[in-house]
Amino acid sequence: MKLYVSSDMEGIAGVVSWDEVNKGQSEYVWACEQMTREVQVVCETAMALGSEKILLKDAHDTGRNIDISELPKGVLINRSWSRDLLVMMSGVDEGYDAVIFTGYHAGAYSDGNPLAHTINATSMKWIKMNGVLVSEFMMNAYTAAYYKVPVIVITGDQAICQEAKRLIPEITTIAVKSCKGGACTTMTGNHALAAIEEGTKIALKKFKASPSACMLSIPEKMTFEINFTNAALAYRASQYKEVELVDACTIRYSTTDYYEFLRMFFFAC
């Protein structure tokens, strides 16, 4: 089995402040340690159950957060950013059997995490696909679907786990914290690791029994709307081919090819 893992930080156990996820802050160090441990247990569990190849994408901020010395032998990790269209899913392709997301978080429109955002909190307020608000989880799940790879596990806050269940009913969700306003009620680090280990075991066994249960279908036609934090950003994005300026801060783009949306998003946003 070949497994692809995309790892973020805002959804790991304990994290509740931007100071804990921004490089250079004193609290960032322990958050990196917890992020590493959560990824580590996923990789170790998957390898114990027969995964012969794991590609891990460090998908938070600089892409240089996970301590690679703590990862099991045989795991490959993609660090920093190659500047390709897949971004948080860089390196995924048809050759992988399944995808796992760790440390994922609620989208910009949600109160499910004090750090809720979608891609870039300073430039975009929200993204919609066919009228539905989009999170990083949703964007990346559709990227996996483009390559016909199912997303079988997500770990993170309760809000994003609930969203994941609505989109992919058979996905295994592991909520390590629930949040409201500026606070989170969270598992301790070791408790989260135990929950992630157990959930990963369950998901991999389910996958072996039914490999296509978590396969997501991409709509035949997609209309995206993106609302920016200021008019200049929207106007710039509207210069991309077939992008329509809806109002001062909002653009619209329609396509039948999800990869073309990723291309537009990469160059226009």
Report helix, strand or coil for 181. Answer: coil
Query: What single-letter DSSP state applies at residue 72?
Result: P
Give me the sheet containing 172-180, strands edge to edge.
75-78, 53-58, 2-7, 98-104, 151-157, 172-180, 183-186
Question: What pLDDT is stored for residue 3 in this prediction?
Answer: 98
Cβ-Cβ contacts under 8 Å for 247 (sequence gap 6 or more): none
Question: What pLDDT is stored for residue 38 in this prediction?
Answer: 98
What confidence category does residue 54 fall into, taking pLDDT thresholds of 50, 70 and 90?
A: very high
Question: What pLDDT is stored for residue 6 in this prediction?
Answer: 98
Residues of the chain with CATH 3.40.50.10780: 2-118+135-209
Question: What pLDDT is stored for residue 224 in this prediction?
Answer: 98
Question: What pLDDT is stored for residue 121 in this prediction?
Answer: 87
- 197-228 pLDDT, tens digit each: 999 999 999 999 999 999 999 999 999 999 99
Angle at 76 between CA 25 and CA 84, to 5 degrees: 75
DSSP 79-141: -S----TTGGGTT--TT-SEEEEEEE---TT-SS-TT--SS-TTTEEEEEETTEE--HHHHHH
- The stretch 233-256 carries a mean pLDDT of 98
Scanning the structure block, which residue is given the tokens 């975009």?
A: 124
- 139-186 pLDDT, tens digit each: 999 999 999 999 999 999 999 999 999 999 999 999 999 999 999 999
Return the exposure string of 203-230: e unless at least 16 CB atoms fall within 10 Å of the residue's CB, then b: bbebbeeeeeebbbebeeebebbbbbee
If DSSP states are collapsed to H, E and C, what string results for 189-209? HHHHHHHHHHHHHHHHHHHHH
Question: What pLDDT is stored for residue 75 in this prediction?
Answer: 98
| Mean pLDDT of the chain, nearest integer | 97
What confidence category does residue 117 fall into, taking pLDDT thresholds of 50, 70 and 90?
A: very high
CA-to-CA dists, residue 92 to 60, 100, 202, angstroms: 17, 11, 23
Question: What pLDDT is stored for residue 48 in this prediction?
Answer: 97
* Class in CATH terms, 2-118+135-209: alpha beta
